[in-house]
Every structure is written in structure tokens, then in C-alpha cells.
Chains A and B, each alone.
Chain A
Amino acid sequence: MTLDAKIPSGPIEQAWDKARFDMKLVNPANKRKHSLIVVGSGLAGASAAASLGELGYQVKCFCFQDSPRRAHSIAAQGGINAAKNYPNDGESIYRLFYDTVKGGDFRAREGNIYRLAQISVDIIDQCVAQGVPFAREYGGALTNRSFGGAQVSRTFYARGQTGQQLLLGAYQALERQVHAGTVTMVPRTEMLDLIVIDGKARGIVTRNLVTGTLAVHLADAVILASGGYGNVYYLSTNAKGSNVTATWRAYKRGALFANPCFTQIHPTCIPVSGDYQSKLTLMSESLRNDGRIWVPLKKGDQRPPNEIPESERDYYLERRYPSFGNLVPRDVASRNAKAVCDEGRGVGKTGLGVYLDFSDAINRLGEKTIRERYGNLFDMYQRITDENPYKVPMRIYPAIHYTMGGLWVDYHLQSTIPGLFVLGEANFSDHGANRLGASALMQGLSDGYFVIPYTIGNYLATNKFPKVDKSHTEVQSAVSAVKQKTDKLLSIKGKRTVDSFHRELGKLVWDYCGMARTAEGLELAIGKIRSLREEFWQNVTVPGSGDDLNQSLEKAGRVADFFELAELMCIDARERNESCGGHFREEYQTPEGEAQRDDDNYSYVAAWGYNGPDRPPQLTKEPLEFHYVHPSQRSYK
């Protein structure tokens, strides 16, 4: 199999224009004759459903929460990038493009990223028009900040709630279409399988989470915008319900899964406090602008931080990276925190934490300024930990935050199954091996508002859609497969809870396929994951029945898919014998301990195809070519 990314030829600046011109259009009168399914109501899903509804298609949008407004995108704090150059500080489409290619450690497509940078500008306009209350200057103009160590201020934000405000904008646009009758919203419903007929995606099988009813929804095309799979680690900054189920079922129906091992660790999260911990809370990256990170010089130093004199502190980032200091990229900051904790110098009850100290900043700028900048974050920290960060340094530790991998899509966001489009964090497209801060929101909205409305039109205009019936064998077999799986989970009646399996799985993946990986560890992990999965299918207990609301059953189905995904992640990580971005293989590092890429052998997208339960997955490579930004080693010294 060869993968055709369908990037238009010619100069990159004109590629998107050219592609749009070449695309076939659907006659306005025919639009309402086409039905579309959108799975997910996050930034990607809601923006897509709303925009497609506005165009006149008949759209059905699904989410598992009780309201589309609760999709995980709501939790994004920091901001959204756009190449507006309002601050006049040297930003341009080209620079955003360049930074994103480089930030992704040269493992993403130039064509997609250039389009993303171009569209970023329109996103801000659209959101402002929807009433998103972005931060403003006194004069009334939009204000920007620099985020995640970027050299220019290109990040737009709405207090610490940017994701919330952007999502509410998209949600409101979606609800407007619901009122107009173009979109039917189906909340509290989970997609459990994809229906592929004659090689094309034609529908989904869902379970109503309140009544347990399985239903079939048929359409001319299916759009997945179901988010990322960070919850494979159990503890992550993702919402509890985030899952891989929708994309995983598509994978098992023939869509390729690309770069599953590319996951991102965020350096500043509140550390784990006990075994009951259910998720991790992110503290915005912006804190590193003023906070200084340190650990005690001595191992096992139990003194409270204020009693440790300057001379016995190790500001390890400042020491190792004199020019970037505390502002090194996420992956570097995370790995270093892990390293000092592994040395036994970690702080807090569990020894898994480092200090983020604001006392210098408070002395320099005054408490008032710090309160203005980070007040709500400090409050949140205090609410959770009961410690006052104005007085005592914060404790932070890295946590899984984002997954760059996902279903493989071409320039049109179409997967390897015709008629199956994948948007947002669910696809693999734009961030390579590492995502820059404030770029995920941008990508989700770009996909949903400005890419899919064109590319899906082309698909609909160039294909025929014979009517399919619910009695079709493919439909029936998908329904019965789902039913069998649900019945199976309910009938095992073993001894261990779903969560206990999930925790154990998460720990395995974190230990062997987390911040640092080795071929040996991955090998070991694959074996352990398999045997744990076997135990799961024999010893899990799912109380209750399948015909009413059953949260254990929902979780069990998701964890079952995580087991399979975890294995694929390890296989992918083992296959990639290099370090790049968030994928750090200990065997491949520079003498200074930095990631060592191998462009000669690994400059490709690893797209995995399902081969049945007993056969290893099939690897297909999509080679990456760089015509504009030439691969170089990152350096933050």
C-alpha cells in the first residue's frame, strides 16, 4: 500500500488555493440531500457540524456527554495561536509555519502545516465575530502573549479559559443550526463501530448511554472528531471520558493509525497525591515565565523548601540550559524533571515533584503583579493542594497531556477509508512528534471551520451514494459485533474492577512508553500488556446490565480498546529507532542527553494497519519531504 497525501503540487503558498479551486462543488440545492455524521462536539466536531449545517447539509452530531458544550476542549487554558502579527513583532504565516515544522521535530507534513498557518488568521476573526471575549488592550484591540517559549507574541487568549470560550463559540454556532433544523444533536450517545459498505464509510453503530439501546445511523460520509487518547495512561490531564474507542474501531475497520507513540508530556501539572488519584490537573505553562524550577542538591532532603538555603538548591534547568533556562520546550523540561526525581531528589510526599518557585519574582515584581498575572492559577493550586503558592513554592510534575498520533489522513483530512474524515486531535496530521503550545485549538478549529467544508464537498460531488438499508449484512454484522462485545463484558463477572485494570495498564504505559523509552523496556511492556489484557477478559467485573445507564460498562469498553492501543503504541515506539520530539528513546541521545533524530532512516510517518487479532499490524510508511524548512538539530543551550 502506498499512501497518497494528496498535497497539491506547486508553491506551498498557493497550494490551498489551488486545491480549493480543483475541488468539485456540491450544487446548493443538492446539499440538503446529503447526510453527514459528525462524531464529537469538541472544537473540531462542533465547528465542523455547525459549518456544514450552515452550508445546508443534513448533519447528525454525537457526543457522549450530556451536552456538546462539555467536550474536553473546554478545559484548554492557555490560548490559541494565529499569525495575525498584531503586535508587529515579526510574526508571519511563514514564521508560524516554520516554528510548527521545527517544533514538531520534522515529523509532520509541510503542506498541511502551511495551510494551518494560513487559516489561523481566519479563525480569530470568526471567533471574535461569534462573541468570544478574547483579552483586549485598553484601546479595544486584541492583545497577545508569548506562549511556550515562542519568540513572538502570537497567542490569543480569554483569561485562563481560552478553550472554554472557543468551544462555547462553536457550541453556540452548533446550537443555532440545531434550532435551524440542519443539525440534529445526539448527546449521551457513544459511537461503538463504523459501518463500511463497498469500501466506503457509510454509518456508525451507537449505544444510547441512558437506555443502553444500540442504534444504527447511516449517512453519506462520517467525520470523526473524537479527540485524543491520552487516557491510555490512566492518569492524564484529559477529561475522564476521553477515549480512543471511535478511532480505534475505525482502525479495526481498515483505517490506518499513524504515529501512535507520539505523545506529549506537559511539564507543569500538580503532582499525584495518592493512589485514589483520578486525574492530573494542568497548571498553565505560562507559569514558567516567572517561576524558577529547582530541587534540593542532596538526595532525600526532607526539609521544607523555605529552610533549604540557596546554596543547597539546584536550579537544574538554568544550570543546564543557560540561554533558555526555565523556558525550554515541554519535552526537555519534562525529561529533566523525571531525571532529577529518578536521582532521588524529587520533592513532596511521593518524591515525584519539583519546585516551581515564585519568591524571586514576587520580590522583584511584587505580589500584586504576580497575582494579576496568575491569580486564578494560584487559587486553583491552593484549592487543590491547600498550600499557598505565594508563600511556599508550588510542586509540579510532568503528566501526559496530548497525543500527536491518530488516524492517518491526507491533505483532505480523509482517512484511508473513503468517506471517513478525521479532524482535531483524533487525526495525526499537523504536529509531528511534538505539538507547540496553543496549536491544538488552532488545528481543531481550522479543520472544522475551514478545511472540512471544502474537502467533504469534493468527496460528495465526486462519488455516488446508493441507498443502504439497515438490513444490509454489513450493518447487521456491525450491530451484532457490538452487542457481542457488550454482552461479553457483562458476562465475565470476575473479581477486578475496570479501574484497577486501567490503572495498572496506565502505569505500564507510563513506565515503558512515557517520557523515556528503550527497546528492551518496550519489548517487556508488550508482553505485560498482553497478559494483563488476557486477565482483563477473564477477570474483569462489570456490574449492572446493558439496558440502562451503566458507567462501568462504558469504561470497560473504553479500557478494552486502550489495551489494544497500548500495544500498538509500544510497537510503534520500538520500531522508531531514533528520538524525536516527545518520543525519547534512551539509546538515541546526544552526548548532552538531548534527543537524537535519525533523518536518514526515520523521516516518515508510521501508519499502522489492522491485520486481525492474531497477526501483527502492518506498517506503511509515508515519507516526509522538506522543501522549505530544512531539518536541523534543536538546541536550547
Chain B
Amino acid sequence: MSTTVSAAALGPQRNRVVTFWQSTNGKKVVMAITGAMMFLFVVGHLLGNLQVFEGPEKINAYGHFLHSIGELLWIVRLTLILAIVLHITATIQLALRNKRARPIGYSRKQAINSSYASRTMYWSGPIVLAFIIFHLLQFTAGYIHPESRFIEGDVYHNLVSGFQVWWVSAWYIFAITLLGFHLRHGLWSMFQSVGFAHTRHTPTLKSAALLIAVVIVLGYISIPISILLGIVK
């Protein structure tokens, strides 16, 4: 039969932060909080980026402004890095656990009550990660900048010349759509993870998450699309 392990047998009392992190529920809370932080960045970043429609001066000034605040920028960057590291560490640990939890799969499995987005979080997340790396190499570091030259500080030029390459734009559109999927489920799920839910609120939360995800995707992809179409040049 089962064996009970007493507290004593588990060794010295563990720190509650450790215990919390070790439980799947604790990790989910961390994912929710870090996800929310990244979401705030995504919103802010979108608002910044949309200034591209107001012409080179505006967005370049914005770029300069960001770089000029120095330490603050690094605080934000470090927070984001920490968030993403925690988010991803938890993702990997949970994904491994989930894989282990069903060693033999079903020969046939039908989904009857879930969204596509919810079932593909472990795909949309990593692709977004790959995108972010690509994106940093392109616009922040300037390592990847096909078919044109990266000009440090000239954000407008970098954007327009970057997105004029069709496959770069296509990749952005694809990755951002996946980010949208990720948010469509994640923005609702994070409430569930921190324990805020009620039969009354759930439908509202779900529709709000969908709406926000759509707005964010449309907002972001409007940039490469306008550049490809020559509206912004």
C-alpha cells in the first residue's frame, strides 16, 4: 500500500519560497506574473513602435529617449530578462513533467472543449522565444540585417529597410500571430493560475483576452504590412 512520509523524514524544513517554486501550482503563479510583466512590455513596445506611422523624427527621438535614460533602461531590461528566464525555466520544467505524465499516448484523441491556442502553448511560446532572439539580433544588435545596412540610432531606417525584405516581414507576421495565440490563452489562464475566477467572470475574461490578443497582433503586423505595401517608406 502507500507509504506516508513524515515531515521529519523529508529532512529539515524547506524554505517556503523553495517549496512554492517546487510545486507546479507555484510555478504557474510565477509564469502568470512574469507573463503579465512581458505582456505589459509588449503593450508598451507596441505603443512605441506605432510611432513609426508618425514619421522618422518621432520614432528616432523615441529611440534616443530610451537610450538616454541609461540605468533605468537596464533595470527594465534586467527585469524583463529575469521574467523571461523564469517564464522559460518554468515552461521547460512543466513541459517535461507533462510529457512524463503520459508515457503512452492515445491512439486517437479528440478535443471537445478547448481552444487551439490552449493546446499549443508549448509551441507558440518557444517560437515567440526564437522570434525574440532573431528580433534582438536584428534591431538591437544589428547582426542580422539582410539586404541593407543597420544604422545604429536610425530606428526608422532600420525598420523600413528591414521589413522591405518580404521573408523578414512574413516571419514577423507569423511569429506575432503566434504571440497572439499565446496571449489569447495566456491572458485568461493567468487569472486562473493566481486563483481569480468565477463562473460569472470567466466568459468575460476569455473574450477580453481574445480581443486584446487580436488588437495586439493587428497593431504589430500593421508595421511590416504597411512597409511592404509601401505605405510607410
Query: Which residues of chain A have a CB within 8 Å of any CB of chain B?
Result: 179, 181, 184-186
Contacts and interface: CB of A to CB of B under 8 A. Distances in A.
B29 to A, nearest CB: 27
Contacts of B1: 184-186
Interface string B1-45: 100100000000000000000000000000000000000000000
B211 to A, nearest CB: 35
Contacts of A179: 4
Contacts of A181: 4
Contacts of B4: 179, 181
A186 B1 CA distance: 8
Contacts of A184: 1
Interface of B: 1, 4
5 contacts: A179-B4, A181-B4, A184-B1, A185-B1, A186-B1
By DSSP majority rule, is chain A's interface helix, strand, loop, or mixed? Answer: strand
A507 B159 CA distance: 85
Contacts of A186: 1
A517 to B, nearest CB: 46
Counting from the closest, the 5 A-B pairs by CB-CB distance are A184-B1, A181-B4, A179-B4, A185-B1, A186-B1
A185 B2 CA distance: 10
A180 to B, nearest CB: 9
B5 to A, nearest CB: 11
Nearest to B2: A178
B26 to A, nearest CB: 23
A38 to B, nearest CB: 16
Nearest to A180: B4
Nearest to B6: A181
Nearest to B1: A184
A181 B5 CA distance: 11
A179 B6 CA distance: 10
A415 B64 CA distance: 93
A184 B3 CA distance: 11
A218 to B, nearest CB: 18
A55 B52 CA distance: 76
B10 to A, nearest CB: 15
A185 B1 CA distance: 8
A262 B220 CA distance: 78
A230 B4 CA distance: 39
A185 B4 CA distance: 13
B18 to A, nearest CB: 24
A181 to B, nearest CB: 7
B177 to A, nearest CB: 42
A36 to B, nearest CB: 17
Nearest to A184: B1
A181 B1 CA distance: 12
B7 to A, nearest CB: 13
A59 to B, nearest CB: 14
Nearest to A178: B2
A259 B228 CA distance: 91
A522 to B, nearest CB: 47
B173 to A, nearest CB: 48
A168 B1 CA distance: 21
